[in-house]
């Protein structure tokens, strides 16, 4: 699965990908060693394309911080899709994972909230409908007949929001758009729209905003045509049976206390986040409403 790591690493450049893989394999092997000895099972933490850049710097800092703060071995598990990470989380292959609000709502009974990131002072974010910078569009109605890029079928901002918008209009993506495709990464949606591969895309507003700082030459070629209402930020979740475990308690404390630690602050700075809050499942009610709408209207 190491080949999928490249997917997470946003601005992946061929020659860098190799070293990155090598290092990640190194990271996992050192983390896996204690499990072979059965001295202590490492804490397995799943990550998805929610990450912006998934630089080695970020992954290493996060792994180092969590290991230190939780005082135990932490293994970062990188998956391409939300579906993979969600199913592994539910089946107990992962102790915790940073997932999207959509799978959290969809598997509400199987999953429990660990923490919610705080961005610009609030645990919320938006979904954007992205178009080319020179295109005149302000609502989804202007995007009819487009080649449209989604990020992930289990992504709230990168799929569900647009799907629900169309459902309100009694339409389905495959009918409304000329063609749709999934990029399995919010950054990839920005790239697809910027390159002209897609004429429009559904993207995580938080990712796009952060990219305006880190990769302005890419975002400059795109423009948000429409912004959704504020919704619960993609949370860190665990499986329901696991919620009372010592590991989860350590993880929650480590996340909440992140701003107090220098390594933690470095991680937050790389993620452009303020910190983490315990959060309330009610944060994701608007997402749940969209899921219901889509289910109801097929």
Partner 1 sequence: MRRASLDPRRWPLAFKAPVLVAVFMVVVSIVLTNVVLTRLRETQERQLAAMSTIYLNGLASAVIPHVLREDIWEIFDIIERGATLEGGFGRASIVVVDSKGETLAASDPRQAPVLSRQSERDRAFDGDALLFVDTGKGRAFARRPLLYQDRRIGEIYVDYDISHLLRERGEVLRTLVATNAAIALLLAALGYWIIRRMLGPLGTLSRHLDLSVSGPVQPIPKDEIVASTREFRRLFIRFNAMARAVNEREAIAKELANEERLASLGRLASGMAHEINNPLGGLFNAIDTLKRHGDKPKVRSISLDLIERGLKGIRDVVRSTLAAYRADRDPRHLAANDLDDLRLLVRPEIARRTLTLDWQNTIQGELPIEATAFRQIALNLLLNAIGVSPPGGQLSVICAIEGDHLLLEVHDQGPGFSPDAYAVLAGETSSPVPFGEGAGLGLWVTRRLLEEMGGQVVIARSPLGGALIRMTIPLRAKEELRDVA
**Distances in whole angstroms, Cα of residue 131 to Cα of each of 25, 48, 269:** 37, 24, 28
Contact 129, 200 (CB under 8 A): yes
Among 93, 110, 182, 266, binds partner 1 (CB under 8 A): 182
Q: Looking at beta carbons only, is 184 or 284 nearer to partner 1?
A: 184
Q: Least distance (Å) from partner 1 to the CB of residue 244?
A: 40
The Cα–Cα gap between 232 and 103 comes to 12
Pairwise CA distance, residues 224 & 209, whole Å: 10
Binding flag, residue 192, partner 1 (CB under 8 A): yes
Sheet holding 222-227: strands in order across?
179-182, 147-150, 200-204, 127-132, 222-227
Which of residues 220 and 253 has its CB atom nearest to partner 1 in the complex? 220
Point out which span in 54-62, 193-201, 205-213, 249-257 binds partner 1 (CB under 8 A).
193-201
Q: Kindly tell me which of 197 and 297 has the beta carbon lying closer to partner 1.
A: 197
Q: For partner 1, which is the closer residue by CB, 94 or 189?
A: 189
Say whether residue 230 binds partner 1 (CB under 8 A). no
Is residue 218 involved in binding partner 1 (CB under 8 A)? no
Query: Residue 244, exposed/middle/buried by CB under 10 A (0-12, 13-18, 19+)?
Result: exposed
Question: Quick one: which of 179, 227, 244, 295 contacts partner 1 (CB under 8 A)?
Answer: 179
Per CB under 8 A, contacts with partner 1 among 10-29 are 14
Select the residue interacting with partner 1 from 23, 72, 197, 243 (CB under 8 A): 197
Q: State in angstroms the smallest separation of the CB of 14 from partner 1.
A: 6
Rounded to a whole number of angstroms, the minimum distance from the CB of residue 18 to partner 1 is: 13
Q: Do strands 127-132 and 200-204 pair parallel, antiparallel, or not at all (unpaired)?
A: antiparallel
For residues 139 and 226, the answer to whether their CB atoms sit within 8 Å is yes
**Nearer to partner 1 among residue 7 and residue 44 (C-beta):** 7
1 touches partner 1 (CB under 8 A): no
Closest CB 197 distance from partner 1, rounded Å: 4
Kindly tell me which residue out of 100, 149, 248, 291 binds partner 1, with binding defined by CB under 8 A.
149
Q: How far is the CB of 212 from partner 1 (least distance, A)?
A: 22
Q: Which of residues 254-293 bind partner 1 (CB under 8 A)?
A: none
Q: What Rg do the C-alpha atoms of the chain give, in angstroms?
A: 19
The torsion angles phi and psi of 14, rounded to 5 degrees, stand at -45, -55
Token pair, residue 89, equals 């989380």
- Bridge partners for 147 per DSSP: 179
DSSP 3-state percent helix, strand, coil across the chain (nearest 5):
50, 20, 30
Number of shown-chain residues binding partner 1 (CB under 8 A): 15
Distance, in Å, from the CA atom of 249 to the CA atom of 104, rounded to the nearest integer, reads: 19
For residue 136, give both structure tokens: 């005149």
Give the footprint of partner 1 on this chain (CB under 8 A). 14, 147, 149, 178-179, 181-184, 188, 192, 195-198
């Amino acid at each position: 699965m190491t080949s999928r790591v490249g997917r997470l690493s946003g601005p992946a450049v061929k020659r860098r990908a190799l070293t990155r893989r090598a290092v990640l394999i190194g990271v996992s092997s050192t983390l896996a060693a204690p499990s072979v000895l059965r001295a202590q099972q490492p804490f397995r933490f799943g990550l998805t394309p929610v990450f912006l850049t998934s630089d080695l710097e970020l992954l290493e800092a996060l792994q180092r911080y969590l290991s230190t703060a939780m005082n135990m071995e932490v293994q970062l598990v990188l998956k391409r899709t939300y579906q993979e990470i969600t199913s592994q989380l539910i089946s107990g292959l992962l102790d915790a994972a940073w997932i999207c609000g959509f799978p959290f709502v969809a598997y509400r009974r199987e999953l429990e909230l660990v923490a919610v990131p705080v961005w610009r002072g609030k645990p919320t974010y938006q979904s954007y409908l992205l178009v080319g910078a020179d295109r005149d569009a302000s609502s989804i109605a202007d995007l009819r007949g487009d080649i449209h890029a989604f990020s992930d079928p289990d992504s709230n901002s990168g799929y569900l929001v647009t799907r629900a918008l169309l459902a309100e209009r009694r339409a389905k993506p495959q009918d409304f758009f000329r063609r749709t495709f999934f990029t399995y990464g919010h950054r990839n949606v920005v790239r697809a729209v910027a390159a002209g591969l897609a004429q429009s895309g559904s993207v995580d507003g938080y990712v796009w905003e952060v990219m305006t700082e880190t990769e302005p030459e890419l975002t400059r070629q795109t423009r948000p045509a429409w912004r959704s209402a504020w919704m619960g930020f993609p949370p860190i979740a665990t499986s329901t049976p696991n919620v009372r475990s010592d590991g989860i308690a350590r993880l929650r404390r480590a996340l909440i206390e992140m701003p107090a630690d220098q390594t933690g602050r470095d991680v937050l700075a790389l993620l452009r986040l303020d910190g983490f809050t315990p959060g309330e499942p009610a944060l994701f009610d608007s997402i749940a409403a969209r899921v219901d709408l889509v289910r109801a209207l097929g």
